[in-house]
Amino acid sequence: MFREIFDSHDLNRIRDRIYSSSESDFEKALASNDSRFTPDGIIPFFSPAADKHLEELAHRSSGITRARFGNTIQLYSPLYISNECNSSCIYCGFNARNRIKRVTLTPEEVTMEADALYGMGFRHILLLTGESRRAVPVTSMAEMIRRIHGKFSSISVEVYPMETQEYMELIRAGADGLTIYQETYDREAYAIVHPRGEKSDFYWRLDAPDRGGAAGFRRIGIGSLLGLSDWRIEGFCTALHAMYLSKKFWKSQVLISFPRLRCAPGDFKQPFNVTERDLAHLICVMRILLNNAGLVLSTREPAVLRDNLFPIGITTMSAGSKTSPGGYSLDNDAGGQFEIEDVRSPYVISEMLKQKGYDPVWKDWDRNFQA
């Protein structure tokens, strides 16, 4: 389990080493072969000393991305099944204490939403729920996946953490990807922003990608919600986690997302600022450390920034996203999880990619490959 590796690292010591790394430490780390990256060896990549080398990092990252993935960007869209949640994450619109209209879609409504996304061209979708087993039990989720999986070449889930057997039930129904963000690897910050509900259990969540890997998900997505703690330490822990998962579940592709906390509900004040430059730094470093990882940039970020950032290392982008259940085809006023910044349609985004010399990919996998 990753928790053993995580617990063996003293994050205060890691923080000191990140902040005391010199430019020559960074240059030595950059010159080392990627097959030799060790937990200690990756520390200088996250240091302030590395900040001055962003251009060099971007050049290296972009070269690796083009060599591994060509000029392709895979497009996907989220489909929210429910906004009911028992947890009270203070940065989230679905927080159980927020007064929003709560909606859980019926299987028929999920099919309508899926049809709407299919009509826009999507063949990869991400199904999401809040953390409420009562609102969306595992068996119902499996039934929804069974109903729609014939239309989609890839169905990922971003749902409450489950047992391995439960993940296996979703895979049997047709899901192939699991996304689960730790949100923050800083245990103190984690306790503050997740005060109640199942999500307050740090280790139950930390172990979830292991359970998903053991269940057999073909894609495993992780990430930190940038802004909850120091992005340099979060970056180090995310890289450590991704390196572990890539090695242990070598048949699965690991994906890393970079959700940046932007406007949060109520009077929650974002504890740490993460600038656009910091975000670019993180993307480049993840690509250099994890050459084959899928790197994901969502519509949380504004259009101009997404257009400038994707060439440096991104492989996967969401498009046309709605963050409320029923957002694509139903008129139900359900509350959304967060505000979307890039509101361009999937068509406009795909045309933008083509104009820049990239191939927008709607489908890159067929289940029959697995037979």
Residues that bind ligand SF4 (CB under 6 A): 85, 87, 89, 92, 94-95, 130-131, 199
Pick 65 or 140: Cβ nearer ligand SF4: 140
- Measured in whole angstroms, how far is the alpha carbon of residue 268 from the centre of its chain? 22
> Minimum distance between the CB of residue 143 and ligand SF4, rounded to whole angstroms?
21
Phi-psi region of 197 (alpha: psi -120 to 50; beta: other; left: phi over 0): left
Beta strands in the chain (DSSP E): 72-80, 124-128, 154-158, 177-179, 219-223, 253-257, 294-297, 316-318, 359-361
Cα separation, 265 vs 194, in Å, equals 14
The b-or-e profile of 176-189 (16+ CB within 10 A means b, else e) is: bbbbbbbbbbbeeb
Pick 92 or 110: Cβ nearer ligand SF4: 92
Pick 47 or 129: Cβ nearer ligand SF4: 129
Crossing angle between the packed helical segments 107-120 and 138-148, to the nearest 10 degrees? 40
Pick 83 or 238: Cβ nearer ligand SF4: 83
Cα separation, 328 vs 147, in Å, equals 18
Q: CB neighbours (10 Å) of residue 135?
A: 21
Beta strands in 118-214 (DSSP E): 124-128, 154-158, 177-179
Q: Which phi and psi angles does 203 have, rounded to 5°?
A: -75, -30
Establish how many alpha carbons lie within 13 A of residue 169's alpha carbon, considering only the half-sphere containing its beta carbon. 13
> Minimum distance between the CB of residue 280 and ligand SF4, rounded to whole angstroms?
25
Pick 184 or 253: Cβ nearer ligand SF4: 184
Pick 131 or 210: Cβ nearer ligand SF4: 131
Which amino acid would we find at residue 200? Answer: S
> Minimum distance between the CB of residue 191 and ligand SF4, rounded to whole angstroms?
14
Q: Which phi and psi angles does 143 have, rounded to 5°?
A: -65, -40
Cα separation, 92 vs 60, in Å, equals 35
> Minimum distance between the CB of residue 239 and ligand SF4, rounded to whole angstroms?
23
> Minimum distance between the CB of residue 57 and ligand SF4, rounded to whole angstroms?
31
Establish how many alpha carbons lie within 13 A of residue 369's alpha carbon, considering only the half-sphere containing its beta carbon. 8
Pick 179 or 253: Cβ nearer ligand SF4: 179
Pick 199 or 211: Cβ nearer ligand SF4: 199
Q: Which phi and psi angles does 80 have, rounded to 5°?
A: -85, 125
> Minimum distance between the CB of residue 318 and ligand SF4, rounded to whole angstroms?
17
> Minimum distance between the CB of residue 92 and ligand SF4, rounded to whole angstroms?
3
> Minimum distance between the CB of residue 164 and ligand SF4, rounded to whole angstroms?
20
